[in-house]
Chain A
Amino acid sequence: MFDDWNQIPIPSQEEKDRQIALILDQGIPTEETLWQTLEETLRTIGWQGLFFGAADCIFLSVLVALLCLVPVWGASRQTGIGPAAFLFSPALYGALSFFTSWKEFQSGTLEWLRTCRVSHRAVTALRMLVFGGAAVTVSVPGSVLLWELTGREQSLLWTIAISVSGVCLYGVLSLYCLRLEGTAGLAAAPAAWALLAGLPLVWEKAAQVIYHIPAAVFCLITAGAAGLYLMELGRYCRRRIGGKHHAFG
């Protein structure tokens, strides 16, 4: 019979704490951060999987963005560069998000995409983030071009700042609108943006207010909106809708 109980090596308090912490780490699942989710998604499906079936949507969106330069040019001659740049800068992002989601909806792929192992929401969020990055990148040379075409009436920094803030604010708005179900969520953002951001084009006083906002404020708005966008993107990935609503994969 074993009677040397006192011979059993008792771990030190430090060792006990370390082991308890290890057990807790492994036993209690920690919530993935947005970056972890997106990184894992990209690693699993790759860039090809991320943009599968989206080539025509990208082509169409670039076309829409280029066509938007015409009304931007026209509007900037009436009210100056500010309101037009603000309204149309999210055109590329809006078109990319809208067309890719619309295609999934229309083609009927959405239903089985939501039942796949890789979360459809994570794929959509990652795609939106890439589209957002592309839209911001494109909006800088776009603003420079517009600034040149309109005879450098405002400072370049101000033109870029108002344009990029427009993209970021639209991004936040579109994510909030995705809380609505189905096609309403898709159509709500462009409609709401056209109403809100289009106001300075038709109401001169609102346009004057825009011109009185310094570039630094637009930079702050951009930073705030970008932060909000990432927060909302994280919520979008994790959101669970209970009760009577559709469940998303």
Chain B
Amino acid sequence: MSDHHHDLVHATHTHDGKPIQNDDRPPIEAETLETAVRELLMEKGVISADEVRQAIEMMDSRGTDLGAKIVARAWVDDDFKQRLLSEGDAAVREFGVDMRPTELCVVENTAEVHNMVVCTLCSCYPRAILGIPPAWYKRRDYRARAVREPRSILAEFGTAIPEQKQVRVHDSNADLRYLVLPQRPAGTDDWSEEQLAALVSRDSMIGVADIRSPGE
């Protein structure tokens, strides 16, 4: 432990064959602390290396599939949509999703309203249904500008918002996690729930993009 710790606090980090590698830069204080606590817990037999690996694998493997399925269900089932909007946690529990200790807040895009999500203080994100946030979501420029000039950000993402549409920005700064329910694209009236889920993109559920009509 002490030798490894010594390696980490100096820039000359050598790749020692361990599965959890750090970048070739000096670790920040929190990383050093995490390494120390993790290795201590392993030495004491509280957790195993395999359990740490499994937890990382589980977190890394989560994608946007659940979010897309939830959106598609809301498009085809109006009762579910109403539950999703009024009591998000209970609605997504039907998909086996447990949002605790946070709560899910679903906001609906309509012909009159466009919603967009940011966490200005860090990178709060509904990981249980959308997986790992994109790199830009954590960047300071997105976080600072999304609350101040959302229309410019949306334009930079290639998302045209009609001038008369209201833009609502949600700062995910505390205990809620946000899912944008995008507008169902035109021309999909006879599509199955499964087909619809395949149309739903990650960025549409963060609210920086709309979903194009098939064939557009």
- Do the two shown chains form a genuine complex with each other? no
